[in-house]
Structure 1
């Protein structure tokens, strides 16, 4: 039976889906401002003590995230470029999209360019349409540098690793290995959550090569050494003990584990029902069959031990979420953003492995897959409607477009610009009126009515005032 969705039609749809999920972030980016939460504290410290002294202060007094600390202490505020924050979300989402394409372009190098672009677009769409937390994913700089940027770098690193294995021996291959090591150093130094993910992946990859392929992989061994050495810099920071000691739940592993399982179970159920993961899985079956053919350069995926791979994937999701629950007592939106990314990409990796496993079998499923996995027209139609429906009902997109179309983003932008002008005025004490609206896609926190709150003290220090406080809202 003729396929309802041709490759060209799917490619056009993928382009449209990317545009609809990419555009609101670009438009919202023009309304972005520095956050009262952390952004001014990093900037005030760097301006007051200098860039390198600020690194030392935070490393010894709060966190060992040496790479993300470098980024936030070199933010536009440090250079006096207030409007530079309007570019950060746009650059971040563009870089993230490019990293997804880098990964798929290298993984599917045997496929046509249209296929590679389509897959990258659909993965980007599937992630963005169900992004758990927009503001912590792309607009709050302190979160962006610790989660979104290293997540994008990890996808790019995987592309570099795949490229290294297919390059002939020589200078270019050595340069790729060096660059891969530098990326590991950057990624691990961005945050504990991404650190756990990268080290776990390296252990799994090296373990597979050693146990199942009976090969000691020197390249992966070097990457693992770099990762562990970098992790030592993170966890060895004196500031980590201070930070963890501020949480009451910290130290209770049993309670934290139970909370983690509950959070993940609820999240995964929602991702299966509310996202386009299932319809994309159905429509991707013909491609996954091609990837498991003997002529495919990535047919090794289908030869992976499927049960073990599935358990590892589930374990990674648990391990990703657990440190935040253990250390903070909850799983913040920024952590769930990363967890969903691993769920999404891991889902299709595990699915590809199961397709290969079934193709080697003699059952009806294997025969159907070996025949090219012809998807019935009705099933294709349902999948297409589900994809469209995921756009319409997406809470993430409704929130983003709602903040734009309601004018809330523009109102927030205008009033924050007015506040910035007021903060530049001289005076020991400044009383600031609350912003009329706080769009959820743009705002994490504002300063407080308590002038001694950290957010107030950081803004006061940055703008050279003794006291900055928020007046009571009498509306």
Structure 2
């Protein structure tokens, strides 16, 4: 099978249809989305009380050094009372994610491949990533999570796209590329510690390539490393980080971190390989990788020794897993695993391409082409089954088609009306009739003194919000 054969065009069409089937319920659910009591109201209250810029300083000094995240959350739609903004930004985020995958695919394959092949690669990555999200609500529908984690995954893909384009032009002194790369690095690192590891891992690979293949670090590499290091310093040295880390007695336990991370990594990698569409998508990518590496000389980033590339990928994934164990003492939260998934998939594809390049002379295209139609049919069927029975699609379609999302939306609108029309200092709210798992984070708590209750009460100029203890008529 070649990348321009009828089979290849069929792969593109099927992957595009799957991507559409994945996107449709996510877009529909966006129109039922609402701000979450989890952090969204707290950030908005701070910004409205102290102002946009002072609020960021308060959080930097008192809780978190995530300067780009702080910039985004203190300008959230809630600060303007714009509830419809929470129905729009998930669609925008999903569109940016799809665009970033295509930007990456188009630069990775560049001129040697047709638009159809680039689109197929982008759709495959999009489908594989979105349908294996372990927490759809935290990635797509939670504004604070979007600002901290989700957007950085999009920016990482754009950064890789720009770096590949820059590399193709010799990775020299091109101010436009360097400025764009620097801005992306600053935003990614300023999003979270997890994003910081992702960005520095990319810069580390660039530096490793320079040292191994050129025996020196180029000026652009040094500039980007300096930008990354300064951004890391501004993130890590924030006074608020010491406050946040000091609030958890299980943080900084290095033996626990190492042992727990290794144990988690073994199960995590096994699940990614056998319980996701990774393997069938890899089979479909194989002829693309073969054609990509057939043209010599290979670009610098594909001439790294395969063991070094494999070690780099494994250490990056292990470092991302260990962050939560080190900071909190427990396994990574689902919102972190979402980003680990992206890094794992990108590293898998990178290493697969390098191995194909090494084994290029031993690969027998005739043998592969003899079974190409069978491989395509089996792979596509495997992908349909893996995505259809994965964690995302049944939940998203279920919340939409069952009406749970619509009932949740109606119940939230009734709460808003109650909060704005009532003149009482204490607001009594009933439990929501449904909790659509695909988009719902947390509700206010039965304890009126809980932070979520206090932030919501402050936003509506109430003294207290009390959740009535009433049975829930239906659940997710």
Would you say same fold, with TM above 0.5? yes
User: CA shift at 1:100, angstroms?
Assistant: 0.9
Match of 1:285 in 2: 286
SS of the residue 2:392 aligns to: helix
User: CA shift at 1:74, angstroms?
Assistant: 0.2
SS of the residue 1:431 aligns to: strand
Match of 2:414 in 1: 418
Structure 2 vs 1, CA of residues 309 and 375 (structure 1 numbering), >3 Å: closer, same or farther? farther
Match of 1:443 in 2: 440
Instruction: Tell whether 2:126 aligns with 1:112.
Output: no
Tell me, in whole angstroms, the C-alpha distance in 1 between the residues paired with 2:124 and 2:108.
15
| 8 Å contact from structure 1 (residues 289, 372) kept in 2 | no
The correspondence of residues 143-182 of structure 1 with structure 2, limited to 5 A, is 143-167=145-169, 173-182=174-183
TM-score by length of 1: 0.94
Segments of structure 1 that go 5 or more residues without pairing to the other structure are 361-365
User: CA shift at 1:44, angstroms?
Assistant: 0.5
User: CA shift at 1:421, angstroms?
Assistant: 1.4
| 8 Å contact from structure 1 (residues 301, 349) kept in 2 | no
Match of 1:399 in 2: 395
Instruction: Tell whether 2:425 aligns with 1:428.
Output: yes
Tell me, in whole angstroms, the C-alpha distance in 1 between the residues paired with 2:378 and 2:9.
19
Tell me, in whole angstroms, the C-alpha distance in 1 between the residues paired with 2:289 and 2:114.
14
| 8 Å contact from structure 2 (residues 149, 339) kept in 1 | yes
Tell me, in whole angstroms, the C-alpha distance in 1 between the residues paired with 2:200 and 2:327.
19
Match of 1:379 in 2: 375
Match of 1:454 in 2: 451
Match of 1:8 in 2: 9
The correspondence of residues 84-95 of structure 1 with structure 2, limited to 5 A, is 84-95=85-96
The farther-off stretch of 223-232 and 324-333 is: 324-333
Segments of structure 2 that go 5 or more residues without pairing to the other structure are none
| 8 Å contact from structure 1 (residues 5, 380) kept in 2 | no
Q: After superposition, what is the alpha-carbon deviation per residue over 1:374-401, rounded to whole angstroms, capped at 9, x for unaligned?
A: 3614333322221121132112111111
Match of 1:335 in 2: 336
The correspondence of residues 316-335 of structure 1 with structure 2, limited to 5 A, is 316-328=316-328, 329-335=330-336
| 8 Å contact from structure 2 (residues 156, 188) kept in 1 | yes
Tell me, in whole angstroms, the C-alpha distance in 2 between the residues paired with 1:284 and 1:265.
25
Which stretches of structure 1, 4 residues or more, deviate above 4 A after TM superposition? 1-5, 167-171, 298-302
SS of the residue 1:212 aligns to: helix
Structure 2 vs 1, CA of residues 16 and 214 (structure 1 numbering), >3 Å: closer, same or farther? same
SS of the residue 1:131 aligns to: coil
SS of the residue 1:436 aligns to: coil
The farther-off stretch of 380-389 and 335-344 is: 380-389
Structure 2 vs 1, CA of residues 321 and 474 (structure 1 numbering), >3 Å: closer, same or farther? same
Match of 2:229 in 1: 228
Tell me, in whole angstroms, the C-alpha distance in 1 between the residues paired with 2:172 and 2:148.
34
Tell me, in whole angstroms, the C-alpha distance in 2 between the residues paired with 1:413 and 1:438.
10
Match of 1:122 in 2: 124
User: CA shift at 1:302, angstroms?
Assistant: 4.3
Q: After superposition, what is the alpha-carbon deviation per residue over 1:317-366, rounded to whole angstroms, capped at 9, x for unaligned?
A: 01011111221223111110000111111111100011111125xxxxx1
Structure 2 vs 1, CA of residues 343 and 2 (structure 1 numbering), >3 Å: closer, same or farther? closer
Structure 2 vs 1, CA of residues 454 and 2 (structure 1 numbering), >3 Å: closer, same or farther? closer
TM-score by length of 2: 0.94
The correspondence of residues 29-428 of structure 1 with structure 2, limited to 5 A, is 29-110=30-111, 111-167=113-169, 173-295=174-296, 299-328=299-328, 329-360=330-361, 366-368=362-364, 373-374=368-369, 376=371, 377-425=373-421, 426-428=423-425
SS of the residue 1:381 aligns to: helix
Tell me, in whole angstroms, the C-alpha distance in 2 between the residues paired with 1:170 and 1:354.
28
Structure 2 vs 1, CA of residues 319 and 175 (structure 1 numbering), >3 Å: closer, same or farther? same
SS of the residue 1:444 aligns to: coil
Structure 2 vs 1, CA of residues 301 and 354 (structure 1 numbering), >3 Å: closer, same or farther? farther
User: CA shift at 1:373, angstroms?
Assistant: 4.1
User: CA shift at 1:167, angstroms?
Assistant: 4.2
Tell me, in whole angstroms, the C-alpha distance in 1 between the residues paired with 2:339 and 2:419.
35
The farther-off stretch of 247-256 and 450-459 is: 247-256
| 8 Å contact from structure 1 (residues 292, 299) kept in 2 | no
| 8 Å contact from structure 1 (residues 33, 85) kept in 2 | yes
| 8 Å contact from structure 2 (residues 11, 376) kept in 1 | no
- Aligned pairs, number: 467
| 8 Å contact from structure 1 (residues 302, 355) kept in 2 | no
Match of 2:25 in 1: 24
Tell me, in whole angstroms, the C-alpha distance in 2 between the residues paired with 1:474 and 1:54.
38
Match of 1:363 in 2: none
| 8 Å contact from structure 2 (residues 135, 335) kept in 1 | yes
Structure 2 vs 1, CA of residues 175 and 114 (structure 1 numbering), >3 Å: closer, same or farther? same
The farther-off stretch of 224-233 and 320-329 is: 320-329
Structure 2 vs 1, CA of residues 285 and 346 (structure 1 numbering), >3 Å: closer, same or farther? same
